[in-house]
Amino acid sequence: MKPIPELLSEMTLEEKASLLSGDDVWHTKAVERLGIPRVMVSDGPHGLRKEEDVPGQPGVRETIKAVCFPTACSSTASFDRDAVRRMGEALGEECQHEGVAVNLGPAINIKRSPLCGRNFEYMTEDPFLAGEMAVSLVQGIQSRDVGTSVKHFACNSQEHRRMSSDSTVDERTLREIYLPAYEAAAKRGKAWTFMCSYNRLNGEYASQNKRLLTELLRDEWGYEGLVMSDWGAVSDRVKGVPAGLDLEMPSSHGVNDAEIVRAVREGRLSEKDVDRCAERVLRLVERFTATARPDTPWDLDAHHALAAELAADCMVLLKNEGGLLPFAPGEKVAVIGEFAEKPRFQGGGSSHINCHQVTSLMDALEGMPGVTYAQGYRIDSDEADEALAAEALAAAKAADKALLVIGLPERDESEGFDRKHLRLPANQNALVEAVSRVNPNVAVLLYNGAPVEMPWVNCIRGLVEGYLAGQAVGLANKAVLWGEVNPSGRLPESFPLRLEDTPCSLSYGGEGDRAVYSEGVFVGYRYYTAKKQPVLFPFGAGGSYTTFAYSNLRLNHTEMDDTDTLRVEVDVTNTGSRPGKEVVQLYVAPHESRVFRPVRELKGFEKLSLAPGETKTAVFTLDKRAFAYWSVETHGWFVETGVFGIEICRSAEEVILSTPVTVRGTVPAPLTVTEDTIVEDLARYPAKFALLKKAVAALKNPDGAEAEAIGDNDVLDMDRYAPLRTLIAFGERMDHQRLGELIDAMNRV
């Protein structure tokens, strides 16, 4: 390709406009006259879903055989940046081998409700965790000179009416919950592309939302990459160009290209805006073609083994009474459930991978002494099958222990629709309860992409959350359940007891096309901990076959300015007999605040691998953002002077160690004084309050007594909630003119 400025100068308006939409479903447009090739993008984010033509069958396409890695709900449970980066590196190699310029992922929408049908593809309810894992995956894929497309920007928190709904979200909630992961992917991940979502955000479709795509993403965050639409997400293409939407996908078959040209000719659209979008498309094409390596090897079997290794680190041990797990080799274990033979390991929709190999749990257990199998239920039905259930009960009675493999069928959660409830199929719930009555040693392994209710949880002794762990799921299950790998996953989302307990249970889905995020910043564990609402399992929960002890929590400051950084260290010792990994979670807990804030928020995590008896130190560095909230007055991050707890936790609800730090905010909160400003608010601003005391002294002491004769409490005790306009009631020494002069003086200090 020629240099991009030269290409732009030689292109006609029609050619530039043509670059702003796809050539077909998966390719950008070429301009053969100028030697500009087209490049391919392909669905991700946990595998390569590349479509290609079937030879000899015109118009028929199929997806290639590829590797399905753990889905986002599973990989995020690893709480392991390095593991996610390794997965990204493998995905990048696959894309290079197949000539794919951009892997369409990761999907990092916050899990607002467990009902969202696409939660299996999203990472977590926590913005800090989402940002860290997104950066790792982006950096891993892009280390192989293949782009990512961070999606779905922004607030795509439901599938219900997703192409027309309006996510109505206040400024602070956007900044603290729904935008930080995207900010991290833009600033630290430097993602090649972003993908805008289908929905409106505060009244404007994301594909034409200038506030979102230009003022925030580019001007504020400094993002220099390309923005593409989700497939079919464009409403007004002409409006989208100056808003910052560079590439419409898929092809509009020339319709919107012509609209862009017409708008420029009629003076409704600046050609400079078209040039800007075309330049970003050209940069993407140049970036990939300059580094394309179609000879990159792709060892599918090696990646299958990697998928198994990663999946094992993602499994979450939630219950293990009496050390039921791991099973011992040769122990008589009845494995029950059709999912053990036909695993559900990925979600439905655009991320569905055509796997080159699938290893079920029963495949992995083939030939293992002591293991028996019974189907127990049918995946394709919610109704109990009496013959299958009887066979399962007989197997359980004859075994030392029983493992039930249950979960959500794909009909219950997928892209395109939301769940209606949190229940598992009735036949599976009934089977767990029935088996637990004939065998006291029951463990459950779950396959699901989001939380479920567990009415049988008190009837069983062992519970492992397996999520949707990719095509090597059976190898990972065997490794953890039979003790080859020590479980180390943690829940990246809260598991509520009931749907009615969730923060947005009364408003999720919205009314018509309007979805109001009325719970504000209290999403997930932020809500449950603030309300002291019991949950089934809290965010961050997860066990191990060994034990860990924490000690020696230390800070490099006990007092600091918000411009300083805080170094936190804590020692962790493996006090058990097995090697294992421990996820060290650090939360920041504000002791007091003038705004409503969560009890604690995750601000750091590290995964340590420890041999028995070994001690390692987890180290964290916290900056201003760890202590700040978003101020709607200043439209920026603001730190209140005060005391914060530095908490080392096993989950969002279990604090192990805690120590305080005093943080001084270096920027005072702004206060524009008006006649309606109340006395208590002024008391937080010494200079302004001094002027008020002087004015009150003058009113109380007509003979001119000094203001110092009036104490703070003397003023506050008058009525701390009284607005300044009530000073006029003190008599003729205060009128509107004098009050106006006092207010002007207050606003100058």
Q: CA–CA separation, 183 vs 169, rounded Å? A: 17
Q: 97 near 75, Cβ under 8 Å? A: no
Q: Which of 574, 570, 572 is nearest to 545 (CA)?
A: 574
Residue 682 CA: distances (Å) to CA of 671, 679, 696, 742, 749? 8, 5, 13, 13, 12
Q: What is the residue whose two structure tokens read 């309300």?
A: 531
Q: 167 near 201, Cβ under 8 Å? A: yes
Phi and psi angles of residue 193, each rounded to the nearest 5 degrees, phi first: -140, 160
List b or e across 713-731, with b for residues whose CB sees 16 or more CB atoms inside 10 angstroms: eebbeeeeeeebebbeeee
Q: CA–CA separation, 746 vs 444, rounded Å? A: 65
Q: Taking the alpha carbons of 553, 557, 561, 564 in that order, is the dihedral positive or negative?
A: negative
R_g of the chain, CA atoms, integer Å: 29
Q: Taking the alpha carbons of 333, 336, 340, 344 in that order, is the dihedral positive or negative?
A: negative
What token pair was written down for 264? 């420029």
Eight-class DSSP state of 232: T
List b or e across 146-158, with b for residues whose CB sees 16 or more CB atoms inside 10 angstroms: bbbbbbbbbbbbb
Q: Which of 40, 52, 25 is nearest to 284 (CA)?
A: 40
| SS3 of residue 199 by DSSP | coil
Q: Taking the alpha carbons of 719, 721, 723, 726 in that order, is the dihedral positive or negative?
A: negative
Q: Which of 709, 708, 713, 740 is nearest to 724 (CA)?
A: 740
Q: CA–CA separation, 486 vs 480, rounded Å? A: 6
Q: CA–CA separation, 83 vs 48, rounded Å? A: 18
The residues that are catalytic are 230
Q: Taking the alpha carbons of 115, 116, 118, 119 in that order, is the dihedral positive or negative?
A: negative
**Residue 369 CB-half CA count within 13 A:** 4
Q: What is the residue whose two structure tokens read 């122990």?
A: 331
Eight-class DSSP state of 417: B
First to last CA, the chain: 59
With helix as H, strand as E and coil as C, how does 497-550 read?
CCHHHCCCCCCCCCECCEEECCCCCCCCHHHHHHHCCCEEECCCCCCCCCCEEE
Residue 499 CA: distances (Å) to CA of 126, 354, 502? 19, 33, 6
Q: Which of 554, 529, 530, 551 is nearest to 661 (CA)?
A: 554
Q: CA–CA separation, 725 vs 675, rounded Å? A: 5
Residue 567 CA: distances (Å) to CA of 317, 556, 582? 31, 6, 20
Q: CA–CA separation, 135 vs 154, rounded Å? A: 17
